């Protein structure tokens, strides 16, 4: 999930734009906002021209040019710093939920590595009931390990969890559903078929 905010250091900004006109300050802040919204992609040159009118604009010199587009290195650092901070806080909250839910007799553990893998891609797991998290995180790890397959967006993870929850039937049964997935070598999520009734020993005249 994209973080909607980034730290903005007003003193540094004023120092770096002291020789800019008011128009150039507006162009600069707009390009910084565009970079934040497009991250991890760079700013296309067409966007830069639309905002700054010309590449000779001193505002453009605040951005590094690559074959993929333009970016401001300080903004890149602040975006990544903010994302890492928020991801660590989110994982801490999950750890607290897990600690609260566990008992010495029945410890519940979730796969922290796969959750961290998804968090670094902007996907949040705050919506998941902690009782389902151990089995669901193991499913994500199994899917990645066995098939090199991962979900690419927050939406697809939410849909997958809803299916996992539905097909499990309950949090208590989620580990059993996970075992069925692994035993059947399923790459996706499917309902477990109920056993067909055996009529071989029943009379046609009952």
b or e along 71-81 (b: 16 or more beta carbons within 10 Å of the residue's beta carbon)? bbeebbebbee
Indicate whether 92 pLDDT > 70. Answer: yes
Q: What is the reported pLDDT for 3?
A: 76
Indicate whether 85 pLDDT > 50. Answer: yes
Dihedral, CA of residue 79, residue 85, residue 86 and residue 90, to nearest 10 = 150
189 with 163: CB under 8 angstroms? yes
Q: What is the reported pLDDT for 110?
A: 66
Helix (H) and strand (E) counts in the chain: 8, 2
Q: Is 65 helix (H, G, I), strand (E, B) or coil?
A: strand
Indicate whether 55 pLDDT > 90. Answer: yes
Question: What number is the average pLDDT over the span 44-64?
Answer: 95
Whether this prediction's pTM lies above 0.85 is answered by no
What is the average pLDDT value for the chain, to the nearest integer? Answer: 84
100-118 pLDDT, tens digit each:
555 444 445 667 788 888 8
Q: What is the reported pLDDT for 81?
A: 86
Indicate whether 122 pLDDT > 90. Answer: no
Rounded to 10 deg, the angle between the 133-147 and 112-119 helix axes is 80
């Amino acid at each position: 999930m994209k973080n909607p905010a980034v730290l903005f250091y007003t003193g540094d900004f004023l120092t770096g734009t002291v020789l800019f006109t008011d128009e150039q300050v507006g162009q600069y802040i707009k390009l910084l906002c565009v970079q934040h919204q497009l991250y991890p992609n760079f700013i296309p040159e067409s966007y830069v021209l639309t905002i700054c009118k010309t590449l000779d604009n001193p505002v453009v010199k605040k951005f590094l040019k690559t074959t993929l587009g333009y970016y401001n290195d300080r903004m890149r650092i602040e975006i990544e710093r903010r994302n890492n901070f928020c991801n660590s806080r989110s994982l801490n909250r999950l750890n607290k939920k897990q600690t609260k839910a566990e008992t010495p007799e029945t410890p519940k553990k979730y796969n922290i590595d796969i959750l961290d893998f998804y968090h670094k891609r902007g996907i949040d797991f705050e919506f998941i009931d902690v009782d389902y998290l151990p089995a669901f995180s193991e499913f994500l790890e199994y899917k990645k390990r066995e098939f090199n397959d991962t979900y690419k967006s927050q939406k697809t993870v939410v849909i997958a969890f809803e299916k996992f929850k539905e097909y499990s039937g309950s949090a208590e049964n989620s580990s059993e559903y996970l075992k069925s997935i692994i035993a059947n070598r399923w790459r996706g999520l499917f309902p477990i078929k109920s056993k067909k009734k055996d009529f071989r020993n029943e009379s046609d005249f009952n």
